A and B are shown apart, each in its own frame.
Chain A
Amino acid sequence: METRRRFIVTGGRLVLAGAAAVAAGPTVFTRSVAAAKELKVLQWSHFVPAYDKWFDPWAKEWGAKRGVEVTVDHVSFADVVPRATAEVAAQSGHDIHMFLGLASAFEEHVVDLSDVVATLEKKHGKPVELARRSTYNPFTRKQFALSDMWVPDPGNYHKKVWTDIGMPNGPVTYEDLSKAAPEVKKVAPQMQIPIGIGLSQDIDSNMAVCNILWCHGGSIQDKDGNVVLNSPETLKALEYTKRLYSVGMTPAVLSWNAASNNQAFNAQETSYILNSISAYRTAQDNKLPVVEHYFFTPALKGPTGIMLASEHVMSGYVVWKFSKNQDTAKEFLVALVDASRESTLGSKLYNFPSFFGAAADPGTPVAKRPQSGTAWVEKQCKQDPFGSNPPDKLMVLADSLKWSTNLGYPGSANPAEGEIFDTYVLTDMFAKAATGALSPKDAMTEASNRAKEIFTKWRAKKMVGGGKDR
């Protein structure tokens, strides 16, 4: 009897441990036994692996100086939200959770970080506007997350191919893409996809279609949170995409995942993609032949003259309400922003500081810190310390803040925008219109109805404003 009971108890423990291990997913544990204070951080596996090599020891060292055992668990970008969902449901897990996009859906379960932002503003000046709009909910007036970095999303073009078609500086407008596509086919017939803009159910495609929509004057919501997707501007964006798809794209772009556009460009199977510099850094690291042809353009202009691109990544660190180490967590976040120079370099210029002032020259007065930090970042872009040839290859990024914006533009990020993003409402609309699965008007109507349904639901939870939907 005793043996059987022991068997059941032991078995039960093993099952629980197994279930916990499975639930933990693909993580990297850097945990050690017993410490006076501890801090658990959930962090993504960075698209530029060099960043993780910087971050993990930096976090450990920060903790060691303060007698805090810091644990960093990495998950793939796709697991960030499911892990958050699981931890909220269990009301336990990490103290700090890093989101890549919109953390706003979890607002109710995170502590207000207004004090952290106030501390940082006193030290470094204000954060960039797109970071503020991604981490602050004006409707609930809560600073639900802290952004330490954002990532510009330039166009990547194949210099040789574009030179051969008479456009050595790459495209400037969206119209240039549709004009160039047939020419690219002529000069580079081996390229499978002349223009490689994703229209699939993935994060990069989501950003790409936002860019096209905004630059044609459309958006999901207006600045007050009213749904305005059903508009002549959206229709123009869809008609443009349909045209571009027919002259310069293939169904391959309907199936892309986050790595596909990188792979296609690095294999020289496409002449233009929308991506951060991570694909380029991969090509550099692997000494791929395409490296010499990699060049960058700022966001493209739409027929409206609007020239905007979504941030490629917007960090949003939250501190859970269930955390028992909230003060330590806040100190950690302040220190992380303070280390913006190191983190920018650690990511090989992939990360740009959300508080530019944190990258200022030492000793610069607070009032001048944002300017000084911006100048430092510009200097890095114009003289890439990571071996670009020519050294100013990343110069386009120097003024990327001017043409970058947040998800939710022209309003703030909110849970409704997040759900629309995560359930691919926009990419589906664009893909259906592009392929003729639905007419542009029907695709727009379908997506608009879905967007209104989602906004209505979140308004009922009093987390999103607006209500005068179109």
Chain B
Amino acid sequence: MLAPALAYILLLVALPFVAAVLLSLTNSSAGSLDVSFVGFRNFRAVVGNPVFKRALWNTFVFTFVSQVLVIAFGNILARALMRRFRGKTIARFLILMPWAAPISLATLGWLWIFDSTFSVINWVLKVVGYFGPGQWYYWLGDPTLGMVAIVTVHVWRMLPFSTVILIAGLSSIPAEVHEAADIDGAGTLSKAFYVTVPMMLPILSVALLFGVVFTFTDMSVVYLLTRGGPFNSTHVLASLAFQDGVLGGDVGRGAAIAIFLLPVLVVMAILTLRVSRRAEVA
């Protein structure tokens, strides 16, 4: 009964994980199958590298900021979609689109939106007179704006999932509870903090933890949008691991960078399991 699940975990989770740990302790390179054990040399090398330090910082910023925004906007959208209005089905469909669209295709669209020369945002701002002479936003050519662009695309991509989860959470709160709160004279804020949030906490936690894990390990938006540039300033750990390990051919170093994701992911996994168990009990 458990065999397929166990086989799946062993083959697709445990084995790659053990391989990554082992590779990080070797001098493995892309063009070679011969490896030698080098101890913690790869870790020492990456820890001293300013690009790695920046990528580590970016990973946390990317994860934290995008998750806060996803939960905030997800709540707003979910509440809006709980109401009755004309065209609700179409609105739901459109909101779900980013989740269904292939990220590479979607990012091409965003690449045009944020292109440093042809950005449609910039041209609109220019036409409406917002930009003075010589003013321009170099979205992907500036480290800060680059991170803004990356977070924006990631929020756009994650929002539908979060919204759907939150709609499910909101729908599961019985109407009688709200009515009882109304009778007790609870205001909007009181109802939100003492009724809605506590009752949604398990599902909210799952959405948040899933989002954090997904964001923390994601490299696709960074790789497709900025490729870590300008001057390696927008890398996250996953994209830097890919650049050094696969493109640069230093597999051992790439694995060492990727392993730095591990402590956070372990904590997240434990939290996820605990929250799920609590939700189950509840």
Which residues of A come within 8 Å of B, CB atoms?
Answer: 8, 81-82, 84-85, 88-89, 91, 105-109, 192-193, 199-202, 250-257, 260, 263-264, 267, 269, 415, 418-419, 422-424, 427-428, 431-432, 435, 437, 446, 450, 453-454, 457, 460-461
Of B67-75, B90-98, B210-218, B226-234, the one touching chain A: B226-234
Q: Does B76 lie at the interface of the complex (its beta carbon under 8 Å from any beta carbon of A)?
A: no
Q: Is the CB of A419 within 8 A of B249?
A: yes
A-B CB proximity, top 6 nearest: A251-B141, A255-B140, A254-B230, A252-B116, A251-B138, A106-B31
Question: Which residues of chain A have C-beta atoms less than 8 A from B51's C-beta?
Answer: 428
Q: Does B37 lie at the interface of the complex (its beta carbon under 8 Å from any beta carbon of A)?
A: no
Question: Which of B31, B118, B227, B233 meets A108, CB within 8 Å?
Answer: B31
In Å, the complex CA distance between A458 and B73 comes to: 49
Q: Is the CB of B248 within 8 A of A254?
A: no
Question: Which of B32, B226, B230 meets A109, CB within 8 Å?
Answer: B32
Which residues of B come within 8 Å of A, CB atoms?
Answer: 4, 27, 29-34, 45, 49-51, 115-118, 136, 138-142, 146, 226-233, 243-244, 246-250
Q: Known: A251-B116, A253-B141. Is A85-B249 also a contact (CB below 8 A)? A: yes
Question: Which of B4, B228, B230, B232 meets A251, CB within 8 Å?
Answer: B230
Task: Write the nearest CB–CB distance from A425 to chain B, whole angstroms.
Answer: 9
Question: Which residues of chain A have C-beta atoms less than 8 A from B141's C-beta?
Answer: 200, 250-255
Q: Is the CB of B232 within 8 A of A252?
A: no
Chain B residue at smallest Cβ distance from A104 = B31
In Å, the complex CA distance between A422 and B253 comes to: 14
Question: Which residues of chain A have C-beta atoms less than 8 A from B231's C-beta?
Answer: 201, 254, 427-428, 431-432, 435, 437
A–B complex contacts, Cβ < 8 Å, 24 sampled: A84-B31, A88-B30, A91-B33, A105-B29, A193-B117, A199-B230, A250-B138, A251-B138, A251-B230, A252-B116, A252-B117, A252-B141, A254-B231, A255-B138, A255-B230, A256-B116, A260-B115, A264-B117, A419-B249, A423-B244, A423-B247, A427-B231, A428-B51, A461-B27
Q: Known: A255-B229, A267-B117, A437-B231. Is A422-B136 also a contact (CB below 8 A)? A: no
Q: Known: A82-B246, A255-B116, A457-B250. Is A201-B31 also a contact (CB below 8 A)? A: no
List 15 additional A-B contacts (Cβ < 8 Å) besides A255-B140, A423-B244: A81-B247, A84-B30, A84-B31, A105-B31, A199-B230, A202-B227, A252-B117, A254-B138, A260-B116, A263-B117, A264-B117, A423-B247, A424-B243, A428-B231, A461-B27
Q: Is the CB of A263 within 8 A of B31?
A: no
In Å, the complex CA distance between A460 and B31 comes to: 15
In Å, the complex CA distance between A260 and B227 comes to: 14
Question: Which residues of chain B have C-beta atoms less than 8 A from A8's C-beta?
Answer: 4
Question: Which residues of chain A have C-beta atoms less than 8 A from B29's C-beta?
Answer: 105, 415, 461
Question: Which residues of chain B have C-beta atoms less than 8 A from A251's C-beta?
Answer: 116, 138, 141-142, 230
